Structure 1
Amino acid sequence: MAKDLKKGDEVTWQSHGHTVPGTVEKKITSRTEAAGRTVNASSDEPQYQVKSDKTGREAVHKPESLTKK
C-alpha cells in the first residue's frame, strides 16, 4: 500500500489482471469529478489521480490500490 504519495511519484496498480505503470497526477481530498467519474474522497480518505505510462489515460485509485515504484 502506498501512503503519502505526491505529484510525480511513479506507481503501479492492477487493471484487468495486468500491472499498469503510471505517475501520480494529484491527490484528491474532496468530492469531485475526475477521470470521468465522481470521486468520493476526503482528507481522511484521499484518492489519487494517476496517468498510465502505456496509454496516457487517467484513472483514480485509493492509496491501498497503488504500489510505489
Structure 2
Amino acid sequence: MLRPRNDVRQEIAPVRNLRRYGGSRLCDRETRTYFSAHDLERLVRKGVRISIREVETDRDVTDEIIRPNLQ
C-alpha cells in the first residue's frame, strides 16, 4: 500500500552574499552594511546561509572566515 506523500516543504533560506575588502572588512552590498565577526557569528547560528568573496580576486573565502568565527 502506498502512503500519501507529505507535502510539507522546508524552505531554503536565501544566501547572504558578502564581500571582503582590505583589512578584512565584510560588507553586504545589497543592504550597504558592514559586518563584524560577532554579527557574522550571530547570522550563521540563526541558520542564515552566507557566501563571502574577496573583492580583489573574487575568490570564495567563506570557509576561511566562518570556521574560525564559530570555534
Instruction: Normalising by structure 1, report the TM-score.
Output: 0.27
Q: Indicate the structure with greater helix content.
A: 2
Q: Which has the higher contact order (CA 8 A, sep 6+)?
A: 1
Which structure would you say has the larger Rg? 2
Instruction: Normalising by structure 2, report the TM-score.
Output: 0.26
